[in-house]
Amino acid sequence: MSAQKIRFFLSASPRLMQWSTQTHRLNDLQQSLQQALPSQLLGAYRAGALKERRLVIYAINGAVAAKLKQQLPTLLKKLHQRDFDIAAIQVKVHVAPSFAGRKHIKHTAISQAARTGLGHLASDLPDSPLKLALDRLLRRHRSDSTS
């Protein structure tokens, strides 16, 4: 179905038009949250209801909720700068179906000095599960550092 047909159907009903407007507003809010919050939290929260100038953000777990709560004063300022009329932000833990099965992945990097040291250690080790694990770790981080 083309975008024009979808817009036609959405504009046919005031209720659908209101729903469409709210959906676009939440999508804009979600994008602004992604730009304003640390990238380590990406995918671990969702913009929820926006009613009476109060935004609810749903976090995947308590740890993410705690990190979000630490960011609230700064986040509120950044959202005001992006022309969102929000007076308060509430963070709730809610494992929604969109979060189910999704793991929060922490991206880490190993410094060049650490990779060199681990490489020397791996080369000095006899064939063993530890040596295989170190080799695999070093291969993965070599490919990460070149991209």
Mark 97-115 as b/e (b = at least 16 C-beta within 10 Å).
eebeeeeeeeeeebeeeeb
In the chain, % of residues over pLDDT 70: 80
Domains (range + CATH), the chain = 3-93 (3.30.300.180), 112-146 (no CATH)
Distance between CA 35 and CA 14 in Å, rounded? 32
Residue 137 token pair: 């770790």
Taking Cα atoms as reference points, which of 89, 100, 104, 108 lies closest to residue 43? 104
Is the pLDDT at 106 greater than 80, yes or no? no
Distance between CA 24 and CA 26 in Å, rounded? 5
More confident residue, 121 or 17: 121
- Work out the mean pLDDT of the chain and round it to a whole number: 82
Distance between CA 119 and CA 133 in Å, rounded? 11
Give the CA dihedral 34, 77, 73, 67, nearest 10 degrees.
Answer: 10
Distance between CA 28 and CA 22 in Å, rounded? 10
pLDDT (mean) for 77-82: 90
pLDDT (mean) for 104-129: 84
* pLDDT of res. 123: 92
